[in-house]
């Protein structure tokens, strides 16, 4: 309950309520875009400054390896489960969405750890960047297999030749996955923080620390508005999908927590790995998937991730994941 009294979380709740009562309150798209870029830049700088202090230790490398493992395991398990009651295209799209990560959920978790005095490594921002792309690549490959099977089983001449990624080349998908502007900004800011170290941290303190909380609150207000207005996308959908949107993150979080325990991660780093595994992308992945897997229904993967999973993680998931990490990873 105490976590709900955080100003940033309360602004998220306020945004959801404003959206549910159909208020005309709206954050202009350019401002929303600026806020997201600011948060990523500030997070990257914080991570770079922390890495400059700690260096690339074995602990850092283990954490990054764990992030890559979860980035492969989550979409693979998701696809195997979702394929039982969805088309291959929808299963691949949703698996990619839940196999990738939500930067805003991660940033909110970082602020939560700061508020509660829980130490964590700045390298976890790099872990977030590493987890962005593998799920997208897996989804594109899986959807290509589905297309090939459909073409092989169809009567001769019934369908046009199969093209990779529904007309979008694999090269283009790879390029978009690895050069996404938000991800590049995060990594670039981290490099700046790493190169400038303590002097850079002192110079950027007003930008990357003092403004951070207020900017996050403003952005979460916008996210609350967006989340509430996307709940309608889920009307009439299968109860199994709604169960996955809420239960999937808990299963993914449990797997990540077990992995963090097995390799001996610290409570702070383990909590962030759990948050990343439990989150779902609603910006980068849907944008790529819409082009790469046009056969999939955006109302499913976008509505589930933004309408249900994101609010669940912000309001309930983060305190739950952090508490579990503190209990287990001592």
State percent of the chain over pLDDT 70.
89
Calculate the alpha carbon distances from 202 to 122, 126, 206, 208, 213 in Å.
16, 22, 8, 10, 18
| pLDDT computed for residue 181 by the predictor | 67
| pLDDT computed for residue 154 by the predictor | 64
Residues near 18 by beta carbon (within 8 Å), at least 6 away in sequence: 25, 224, 225, 228
**Angle value at C-alpha 233, between 232 and 235, nearest 5 degrees:** 65
Give CA–CA dist 216/227, Å, rounded: 16
State percent of the chain over pLDDT 90.
35
CATH number of 2-16+27-152+159-328: 1.20.1530.20
| pLDDT computed for residue 288 by the predictor | 74
pLDDT of 18 higher than 60: yes
Lowest mean pLDDT among 169-173, 222-226, 264-268, 303-307: 169-173
* Mean pLDDT, residues 93-112 taken together: 91
User: Which residue, among 97, 74, 75, 134, has the nearest Cα to 300 in the 3D structure?
Assistant: 97
Q: pLDDT confidence of 175, banded at 50, 70, 90?
A: low
For residue 119, the SS3 value is: coil
| pLDDT computed for residue 3 by the predictor | 56
Lowest mean pLDDT among 67-76, 220-229, 279-288: 279-288
What is the value of pTM for the model shown? 0.85
* Average pLDDT of the chain to the nearest whole number: 85
Q: pLDDT confidence of 164, banded at 50, 70, 90?
A: very low
| pLDDT computed for residue 70 by the predictor | 95
| pLDDT computed for residue 57 by the predictor | 86
pLDDT of 174 higher than 80: no
* Mean pLDDT, residues 188-192 taken together: 89
Interior/surface letters 305-323, b for 16+ CB within 10 angstroms, e for the rest: bbbbbbbbbbbebbbbbbe
Q: Which of 23-32, 223-232, 262-271 has the highest mean pLDDT?
A: 262-271
Among all chains, which residue has been given the structure tokens 């980068």?
284
Confirm if 125 and 185 have CB atoms less than 8 A apart.
no
- Give me the helix-helix angle, 212-229 and 29-54, nearest 10°: 130
Confirm if 83 and 91 have CB atoms less than 8 A apart.
yes
User: Which residue, among 249, 133, 123, has the nearest Cα to 180 in the 3D structure?
Assistant: 133
pLDDT of 215 higher than 70: yes
pLDDT of 162 higher than 70: no
* Mean pLDDT, residues 269-295 taken together: 85
Give CA–CA dist 209/221, Å, rounded: 19
Sign of the torsion formed by the C-alpha atoms of 280, 284, 289 and 290: positive
Calculate the alpha carbon distances from 166 to 140, 142, 156, 175, 177 in Å.
9, 12, 19, 16, 16
| pLDDT computed for residue 74 by the predictor | 95
Give CA–CA dist 119/121, Å, rounded: 7
pLDDT of 166 higher than 80: no
Lowest mean pLDDT among 31-40, 118-127, 275-284, 289-298: 289-298
pLDDT of 163 higher than 50: no
pLDDT of 242 higher than 70: yes
Spans of all domains in the chain: 2-16+27-152+159-328
pLDDT tens digits for range 105-149 = 999 999 999 989 999 988 888 888 888 778 888 888 888 888 787
pLDDT of 5 higher than 90: no
Give CA–CA dist 182/229, Å, rounded: 24
Rounded to whole angstroms, the maximal C-alpha distance in the chain is 68
Q: pLDDT confidence of 253, banded at 50, 70, 90?
A: very high
């Amino acid at each position: 309950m105490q976590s709900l009294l955080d100003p940033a979380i309360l602004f998220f709740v306020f945004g959801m309520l404003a959206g549910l009562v159909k208020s005309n309150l709206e954050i202009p798209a350019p401002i929303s875009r600026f806020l997201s870029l600011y948060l990523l830049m500030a997070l990257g700088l914080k991570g770079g400054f922390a890495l400059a202090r700690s260096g690339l230790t074995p602990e850092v490398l283990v954490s990054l390896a764990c992030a890559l493992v979860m980035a492969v395991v989550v979409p693979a398990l998701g696809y195997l489960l979702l394929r039982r009651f969805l088309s291959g295209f929808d299963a691949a799209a949703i698996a990619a969405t839940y196999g990738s990560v939500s930067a805003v959920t991660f940033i909110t978790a970082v602020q939560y750890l700061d508020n509660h005095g829980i130490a964590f490594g700045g390298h976890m921002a790099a872990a977030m960047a590493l987890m962005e792309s593998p799920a997208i690549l897996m989804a594109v490959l899986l959807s290509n297999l589905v297309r090939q099977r459909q073409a092989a089983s169809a009567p001769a001449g019934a369908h046009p030749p199969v093209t990779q990624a529904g007309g979008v080349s694999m090269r283009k998908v790879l390029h978009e996955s690895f050069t996404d502007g938000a991800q590049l900004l995060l990594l670039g800011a981290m490099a700046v923080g790493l190169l400038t170290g303590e002097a850079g941290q002192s110079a950027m303190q007003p930008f990357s620390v003092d403004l951070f909380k207020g900017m996050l609150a403003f952005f979460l207000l916008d996210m609350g508005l967006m989340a509430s207005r996307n709940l309608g996308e889920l009307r009439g959908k299968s109860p199994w999908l709604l169960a996955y949107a809420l239960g999937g993150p808990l299963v993914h979080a449990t797997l990540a927590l077990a992995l963090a325990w097995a390799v001996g991660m610290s409570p702070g780093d383990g909590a962030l790995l759990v948050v990343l595994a439990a989150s779902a992308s609603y910006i980068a992945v849907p944008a790529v998937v819409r082009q790469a897997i046009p056969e999939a229904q955006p109302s499913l993967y976008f509505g589930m991730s933004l309408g249900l999973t994101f609010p669940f993680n912000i309001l309930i998931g983060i305190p739950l994941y952090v508490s579990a990490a503190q209990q287990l990873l001592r």
